[in-house]
Amino acid sequence: MIKEAIERLDTRPSPRKLKAILVSSIILLVVLAPAVIYILELSGFPGELETTQLGFDAEYIRDCFASMTEQGLSLFILGNLVDYLFIASYGGMFFSGALLIARKHEKNSFNRVIGYGISILGLSAAFSDGLENIFLLSMVSNPIGFASWLAFPHSLFAHIKFKLMYLTAGWIALTLLYLVSAWLLNSIQVPKEMIK
């Protein structure tokens, strides 16, 4: 099963499709990131990232919702729905970027297989973010009376999302640095007199 998946990732999606996914994902990220931030700022949600997403704290989230107006809560819901487009765009960027970089390594090499795994982790980060939002939207649908246990899976998926995002982005950055350095070293012609 794993061997079949690796063989499939060697050729599918095609390089042309991957490049199209990468470029369109980056464009969407540039447009959607400020849009989501703007809508959430308009909502007046007073919560801080660490406590809201990562704090496993239902009371804190409930207090934040209690301080908001009906219009603010509606904007908060809208912002989190638009966030799904942002999630899809960074998931596409991580998947296509990691896959394109992985394919720069020799076929069946350790680095190539790891890169394929990283591309799947990038998608998994987006999937975790989507699940996190489901629990957040469940809470905001009943802002004062939501079940406190909803904060646990919300924060759990947020933790998973951030860890997978950092791992994927870190691998992409370090591998790009390695590939560019190797290319530069190979392109530098050392005069024969210096070798002697």
Per-residue pLDDT tens for 73-101?
999 999 999 999 999 999 999 999 999 99
**What was the pLDDT predicted at 195?**
54
Mean pLDDT of 97-116: 94
Mean pLDDT of 48-61: 95
Number of domains in the chain: 1
- Residue pointed to by tokens 């079940």: 147
What are the start-end ranges of the H helices in the chain? Answer: 2-11, 15-43, 49-54, 58-66, 70-102, 110-140, 151-187, 192-195
Range of the domain at 153: 2-195
> Helix axis angle, 110-140 relative to 2-11, nearest 10°?
90
**pTM (predicted TM-score):** 0.91
**What was the pLDDT predicted at 188?**
83
